[in-house]
A and B are shown apart, each in its own frame.
Chain A
Amino acid sequence: NAGVTQTPKFQVLKTGQSMTLQCAQDMNHNSMYWYRQDPGMGLRLIYYSASEGTTDKGEVPNGYNVSRLNKREFSLRLESAAPSQTSVYFCASSDLGLAGPYEQYFGPGTRLTVT
């Protein structure tokens, strides 16, 4: 039971290059999320997927796209990387019940540098 896995762990891009960050979870969770963490800013939600087949924008979606490939996998794509997208990216998953939102489980993160 690996929980939430992310690949790659580290990546350096040049401005204008594109890349896809991969995320998978094995907890059978319905909801998945992408965050970025920047110094002094906490974690900010980029996109989320409430369930397979749906995606919605979060707080900072500009410059990103997402794909919920199936229930397990949720990818984040940078079409044309910019230095402002230098950050640590975290994927998370959670399940919801009648009692309300449950805690989210996070992956180990991808450290991205755009030069």
Chain B
Amino acid sequence: DQQVKQNSPSLSVQEGRISILNCDYTNSMFDYFLWYKKYPAEGPTFLISISSIKDKNEDGRFTVFLNKSAKHLSLHIVPSQPGDSAVYFCAASVSGTSYGKLTFGQGTILTVHP
């Protein structure tokens, strides 16, 4: 039972354009969401997060949008750069627990072409 799903295995975008990565979840208890970026042969690195009390969070070129009614979040990267080419994972958690366990999606491979 995949509680967090990234239905697009890959996305190809031209440099300078917008990249939109999508994520859906089924567990209504999730109230904290994160995006991670992973380069080959490295561990995932934290990118941006959002709490369910917000519907948008921005950090430079990265914006995460949360639609609680649709159980959907998206990551927008504007403008996209070749260095953004990586695998992007969304993750979800239930706050207030004592262990901060994350449930990850399958990942989306983003390729930004020069």
Which residues of chain A have a CB within 8 Å of any CB of chain B? 4, 31, 33, 35, 40-45, 48, 50-51, 56, 58, 90, 92, 94, 96, 99-109
Contacts and interface: CB of A to CB of B under 8 A. Distances in A.
A58 B36 CA distance: 20
- Which secondary structure dominates chain A's binding surface? strand
A42 B9 CA distance: 11
Contacts of A96: 98-100
B32 A101 contact: yes
Contact of A108 (B43, B46, B93): B43
Contacts of B104: 35, 42-44
B102 interface: yes
Interface in B14-67: 31-32, 34, 36, 41-46, 49, 51
Contacts, number: 71
Interface in B84-114: 89, 91, 93, 95-107
Nearest to B46: A103
Contact of B97 (A35, A90, A101): A101
Given A40-B9, A44-B104, A101 B95 contact: yes
